[in-house]
């Protein structure tokens, strides 16, 4: 979803770091990156 919205990657990463518990931050940042690389079909 993030790659279709006009919000910079820096802001997304900042929000993840500010809202996700420390022990899950790296996992969430990696998932965010993988999600931005993928193609999704909804339908």
Per-residue pLDDT, 37? 84
- 7 located within any domain: yes
Per-residue pLDDT, 2? 81
Query: What residue numbers bound the domain in which 6 lies?
Result: 2-37
The DSSP 8-state label assigned to residue 38 in this structure reads S
Give the residue with greater pLDDT, 3 vs 29.
Answer: 29
Angle at 31 between CA 34 and CA 39, to 5 degrees: 35
Write the pLDDT tens digit of every residue in 5-43. 889 999 999 999 999 999 999 999 999 998 888 766 665
3-class DSSP state of 19: helix
- 42 located within any domain: no
d(CA 16, CA 22): 10
- 26 located within any domain: yes
- 29 located within any domain: yes
pTM of the predicted model, to two decimals?
Answer: 0.76
Instruction: Sort 27 into a burial class: Cβ within 10 Å, 0-12 / 13-18 / 19+.
Output: exposed
- 43 located within any domain: no
Number of compact structural domains in the chain: 1
């Amino acid at each position: 979803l993030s790659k279709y919205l006009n919000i910079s990657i820096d802001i997304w990463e900042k929000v993840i770091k500010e809202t996700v518990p420390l022990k899950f931050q790296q996992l969430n940042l990696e998932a965010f990156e993988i999600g931005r690389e993928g193609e999704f079909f909804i339908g």
